[in-house]
């Protein structure tokens, strides 16, 4: 049996050391272009079977926003061998869990099954890739479900519209303008022929990564993969991908949104470079400085000491072609939103004007190391990370080495990046105010 993890164990609290896990994996590419990643771990008799299609909302054509996500729903409708509505039942009645999600850049499906049901998972995913049922009944059923999902998760959630609002203003006219859920109008407009096209272009083995982690024998698994996926024909149509970066903002954009909320909020988005760039890693670190933990600058000052906000956070959204560094706060009852945003801006100004201290720098590296180690706690997470690293960066081994990218960044560089990107002319500011009181 292969030894899967080599933990470098350090006891005591003195000295700098590196906690590391090593995730072993193997990669294959089938003739039809399907990329396969396998990770073997026998600790628990379960297996995560996942397929990542490199298609997201940024690949949608005009007038069809929300399409990639809508399509994800349809992919549970069945196939000639799986009756309508049976896909989920088959998985759950066999002791599995399943789900899927769609981002701007990719669509991801997974099942976590008892490991003796691996073959069932491969059959299900290969049916989906080869011959998913896309018919008008499914389209109409799922259209309503998706609209209900939008109502529940976005329209009816306090502050739920902030993504829609902030992306529209941060990426006007670009493929990141509208979040993956899309608009009601476009969801209503989608036609049956659109679906056939989308399936034919994007749901092909040469646009997919099959990533499997858990209690498997890699050789046997590979044979099974050949059996179920090997004969699926490669796609023949060109896979369109945007190559131009979204245009930069030219000046600060400020707006007010009225929502069903009790406490006013402030949502700020700074335009930033794409994921995987040195700039993006630096911005991750800056978000830690600002709001990770109770000693972080914004939490300490705004929530704890001055009690201007009940919550404040900075988190970087990064995508394949660009990023948006979000900084939001919810006021403490009675505080004006503008007072809160001034306090948030003061902290942003500080990281622009002063280099962070050596202690703070070390703290951030420690936090990132802890997150990095913890992210490999579950098979489903490992399968997803391996697929993401492969698809976005062509290097699945980043699952082991990405932490080094952060270590290469210096406090000087952090300040430089803050000065360049965290500035008013590069941002959108949204004030959220309550529509009414009950």
Give residues 246-265 in contact with other proteins (rule: CB under 8 A).
254, 256-259, 262-263
CB 269 within 8 A of CB 166: yes
Minimum CB–partner distance for residue 243 and other proteins (Å): 27
154 near other proteins (CB under 8 A): no
| Site map (CB under 8 A) of other proteins, residues 108-127, x = contact | ----xxxxxxxxx-xx---x
- 3-state SS, one letter per residue, for the chain: CCCCCCCCCCCCCCCCCCCCCCCCCEEEECCCCCEEEEEECCCCCEEEEEEEECCCHHHCCCCCCCHHHHHHHHCCCCECCECCCHHHHHHHHCCCEEEEEECCCCEEEEEEEEHHHHHHHHHHHHHHHHHCCCCHHHHHHHHHHHHHHHHHHHHCCCCCCHHHHHHHHHCCCCCCCCCCCCCHHHHHHCCHHHHHHHHHHHCCHHHEEEEEEECCCHHHHHHHHHHHHCCCCCCCCCCCCCCCCCCCCCCCEEEEEEECCCCCEEEEEEEECCCCCHHHHHHHHHHHHHHCCCCCHHHHHHHHHCCCEEEEEEEEEECCCCEEEEEEEEECCCCCHHHHHHHHHHHHHHHHHCCCCHHHHHHHHHHHHHHHHHCCCCHHHHHHHHHHHHHHHCCCCHHHHHHHHHHCCCHHHHHHHHHHHCCHHHEEEEEEEECCCC
170 near other proteins (CB under 8 A): no
Minimum CB–partner distance for residue 244 and other proteins (Å): 30
| Site map (CB under 8 A) of other proteins, residues 220-249, x = contact | --x---xxx-xx------------------
1 near other proteins (CB under 8 A): no
Nearest to 207 by CA among 59, 24, 410: 59
Q: Give the residue with the Cβ less far from other proteins, 236 or 243.
A: 236
397 near other proteins (CB under 8 A): yes
368 near other proteins (CB under 8 A): yes
Q: Figure out which of the listed residues 135, 336, 354, 404 binds other proteins, where binding follows CB under 8 A.
A: 336
Minimum CB–partner distance for residue 96 and other proteins (Å): 6
5 near other proteins (CB under 8 A): yes
Minimum CB–partner distance for residue 208 and other proteins (Å): 16
Q: Figure out which of the listed residues 177, 186, 306, 345 binds other proteins, where binding follows CB under 8 A.
A: 306
Minimum CB–partner distance for residue 212 and other proteins (Å): 14
346 near other proteins (CB under 8 A): no
357 near other proteins (CB under 8 A): no
Give residues 181-220 in contact with other proteins (rule: CB under 8 A).
215
302 near other proteins (CB under 8 A): no
332 near other proteins (CB under 8 A): yes
Query: How many amino acids of this chain bind other proteins (CB under 8 A)?
Result: 112
63 near other proteins (CB under 8 A): no
**The one segment of 38-46, 186-194, 195-203, 270-278 that binds other proteins by CB under 8 A:** 38-46
Give residues 68-87 in contact with other proteins (rule: CB under 8 A).
80-81
Minimum CB–partner distance for residue 158 and other proteins (Å): 9
Q: Figure out which of the listed residues 292, 320, 347, 384 binds other proteins, where binding follows CB under 8 A.
A: 292
Minimum CB–partner distance for residue 322 and other proteins (Å): 26
**The one segment of 100-108, 305-313, 318-326, 346-354 that binds other proteins by CB under 8 A:** 305-313
């Amino acid at each position: 049996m292969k030894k899967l993890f080599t933990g470098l164990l350090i006891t005591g609290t003195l000295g700098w050391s590196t906690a590391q896990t090593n995730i072993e994996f193997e990669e294959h590419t089938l003739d039809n272009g399907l990329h396969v990643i396998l990770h073997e771990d026998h600790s628990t008799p379960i297996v995560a079977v996942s397929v990542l299609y490199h298609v997201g909302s940024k690949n949608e054509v005009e007038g069809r926003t929300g399409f990639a996500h809508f399509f994800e729903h349809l992919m549970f409708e069945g196939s000639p061998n799986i009756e309508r509505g049976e896909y989920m039942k088959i998985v759950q009645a066999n002791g599995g869990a399943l789900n899927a999600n769609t981002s701007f850049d990719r669509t991801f499906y997974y099942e976590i099954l008892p490991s003796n049901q691996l073959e069932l998972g491969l059959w299900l995913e290969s049916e989906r890739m080869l011959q998913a049922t896309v018919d008008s009944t499914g389209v109409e059923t799922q259209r309503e479900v998706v609209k209900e999902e939008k109502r529940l998760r976005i329209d009816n959630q306090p502050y739920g519209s902030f993504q829609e609002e902030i992306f529209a203003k941060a990426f006007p006219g670009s493929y990141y303008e509208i979040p993956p859920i899309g608009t009601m109008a476009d969801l209503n407009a989608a036609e049956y022929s659109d679906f056939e096209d989308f399936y034919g272009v994007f749901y092909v083995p040469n646009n997919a990564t099959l990533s499997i982690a858990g209690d498997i024998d890699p050789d046997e698994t590979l044979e099974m993969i050949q059996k179920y996926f090997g004969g699926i024909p490669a796609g023949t149509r060109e896979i369109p991908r945007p190559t131009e970066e979204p245009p930069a903002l030219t000046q600060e954009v400020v707006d007010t949104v009225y929502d069903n909320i009790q406490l006013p909020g402030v949502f700020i988005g700074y335009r930033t470079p794409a994921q995987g760039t040195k700039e993006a890693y630096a911005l991750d670190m800056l978000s830690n400085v600002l709001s990770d933990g109770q000693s972080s600058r914004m939490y300490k000052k705004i929530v704890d000491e001055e009690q201007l906000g009940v919550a404040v956070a900075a988190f970087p959204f990064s995508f394949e072609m660009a990023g948006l560094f979000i900084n939001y706060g919810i006021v403490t009852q009675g505080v004006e939103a503008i007072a809160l945003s001034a306090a948030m801006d003061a902290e942003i100004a500080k990281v622009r004007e002063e280099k962070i201290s050596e202690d703070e720098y070390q703290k951030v590296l420690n936090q990132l190391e802890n997150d990095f180690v913890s992210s490999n706690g579950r098979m489903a997470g490992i399968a997803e990370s391996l697929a993401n690293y492969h698809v976005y960066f062509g290097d699945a081994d980043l699952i082991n080495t990405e932490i080094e990218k952060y270590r290469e960044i210096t406090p000087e560089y952090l300040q430089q990046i803050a000065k360049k990107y965290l500035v008013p002319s590069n941002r959108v500011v949204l004030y959220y105010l309550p529509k009414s009181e009950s």
